[in-house]
Amino acid sequence: MASALAACAHAKSGGPAAEQGVASALDDLHDAAARADEDRYFAHFAPGGVFLGTDATERWDVAAFRAYAHPHFARGKAWSFRAARRNVSVRGDLAWFDEDLETQNLGPARGSGVLSLHDGKWLIEQYVLSITVPNQRFRAVRELLERPAQ
């Protein structure tokens, strides 16, 4: 019990243990998606959590995101993301991160967001999934986005 309290106190103060706790939560989130473990995946979100997807219309609370994602999980194949690089900062009960992701379907992508500590567990308050665009290709991408949808 004393060691658990000490670990929680250290996690709240920041430092390597807290940063590792956040990294472990994010790694497990990605592993749960890759294994199509819907319950484990959504257990990583805070009750008021939000997921922002790559499309401008994709701002989902947990219930809406789960409704969207359920058919993917039910087929036994959600998505596969792996962090190739990650930065984590912790201040008290809050942590924020950014990570470069290797993905099977999107190509290079980035995840970023905020987690909060709930009873010793880091939960996602906001996760933002982005597709990165190299600066030298931005003009071409912008031109594609300005074209009418077909």
Q: The CATH number of the domain where 109 resides is what? A: 3.10.450.50
What own/partner pairs with CB < 8 Å and gap ≥ 24 does 7-10 have?
7/120, 8/120
pLDDT of the residue at 13 = 55
3-class DSSP assignment, residue 114 = strand
pLDDT: which is higher, 89 or 148: 89
| Domain assignment of residue 102, given as a range | 2-146
Q: Give the pLDDT confidence of 87-136 residue by residue, as tens digits.
A: 999 999 999 999 999 998 899 999 999 999 999 999 999 999 999 989 99
Residue 83 reports pLDDT greater than 70: yes
Instruction: Give how many domains the chain has, as a whole number.
Output: 1
Q: Give the pLDDT confidence of 9-59 residue by residue, as tens digits.
A: 344 457 899 999 999 999 999 999 999 999 999 999 999 999 999 999 999
